[in-house]
Structure 1
């Protein structure tokens, strides 16, 4: 297996090992109902905040400007199209509107996996820039869709939200929340301009922004602040994201004692991978053929999908049991397909 596949399998093995630890602890100590504890939503929101900020923080403004059309299409039309394709297939197969939400939760591309893959990738520099920006920007968009589709799906099921990760409102509520998130990011930008030359104040502003975003669940606004709020914490942030990934994976394992839905998870993972293969070529027209192939098989799930599963579990008790195995299937399909594409001869790529 080539460098791309090896990196993907290594990361998948780390995820499975952390999940196994969580499951063993929960089974050994009889831990049940963790998702109903008072601190659960706060911890899950904190993990999501770290993951989203870390994703957006790694974006290169130059890469975005150079590939603006592809990135905008990917994180708007692309994310929505993938979510609808995945959700529609799963609803037809299993009948529950909950699968609309689970489809959104796995529609994004994991930026940590992309960062690791890009080191050994045969993508062109332009292709790597597109994939890096795509994977970083689609996380907050996916999170926002998950929040609002959760409220819609719960309404279809005749239930009301029990956690802060599901919106209990319609289009006006969505627009109001978008406005609040944009206002939050604008205020953070104004404060950043005032304190960016003072290291201590810049660190203090970062802490306050995180605290307010977690308190009010302003995750889109937090992701936007990561584009400019950069007080020299790259190494610390990288470690924090890795820790968040491991903690979230262990947490997923703890909740898997409630049951694993292997068939539904495998179907969700296969649908997510197939949706990327269908939607990506429509978005990446104009890029070199080899890059388009790699982008079509680039669907990977990681920290965002894991944490969204944790956040969805109180409202959709099947979320962790389905998304957990889906992550394994998606990443195995990616490792296999990306390795096979990398092994193709250049002339086969041009004619394919």
Structure 2
């Protein structure tokens, strides 16, 4: 019996698969396409009745309709996008979905969003400089039954022999996760660029998960994180008893208080303020971004931490506070600074344009980090 050539057999075997996957516009679709401050977003959804674009590059709460082409590709051209990084999704059939042609994405507590980066802010862009690394670290904590996770940045050329390195503990906001500072927050790129320019010291940056999970690991409320009492927030115990010891035993991290900083945005800013006051001797470098205690909590802050603020006035090396002119946390930030001033605490204050957004928080990190760990 004559044997069929192997090439013929392979062709016959692959034919059904080839027929099942006929050529589609989706095969070569590129989205988003970014050039000259504008971006074209596209998605192949031939059966959809309508598609909308939602995202941080649009006016708050606004959804932009896409137009459908004859090939089933929906597209929209968005001009005038300021340089920066933005989260976005498509709304198809009333459901928010990620851009299937964009591999850059970020996860918050309850959703995944695609990322758009528009170059033009030098400290946030991927420059031709040495780059550090961001590791995803999974760990167990005696505080929680569910597994925990954090992201850890190590600077370019990191090596234990070059240590010990100072450490910045960088906290996210409400609804976000330990991933957001290193994705939409561009923390790694910002530190890479600052270190390469000699503007910041090489440092380890630890980005932990600040939310408190329920016993089954599901997301619970953040009210303990937004109280006036650090010790009432289980995250504080996780940070002090598990995260810091883990970092100082697994990395070339300095155990000295003078080499330890803490900063956070929004919810993470309240956590930062609570922890910095509850542990004045352990965090001499403090950054609070778009945050401050709510009015009903301030009497408790005075009661719990009045003496701590008096002590911080004498020992703290840096207290840096930033907020936007239209920031929802602006009034709380200013009231917090007034309370600090009443206790003789010195601080640096920065009011910027804009509001409660990562555009500001990236800027604040770029201003705060160069001042850390200076004698």
Q: TM-score, with normalisation over the residues of structure 2?
A: 0.26
Q: Which has the higher contact order (CA 8 A, sep 6+)?
A: 1
Q: TM-score, with normalisation over the residues of structure 1?
A: 0.27
Which structure has the highest helix share of the two? 1
- Work out which of the two has the higher radius of gyration on C-alpha atoms and give 1 or 2: 2
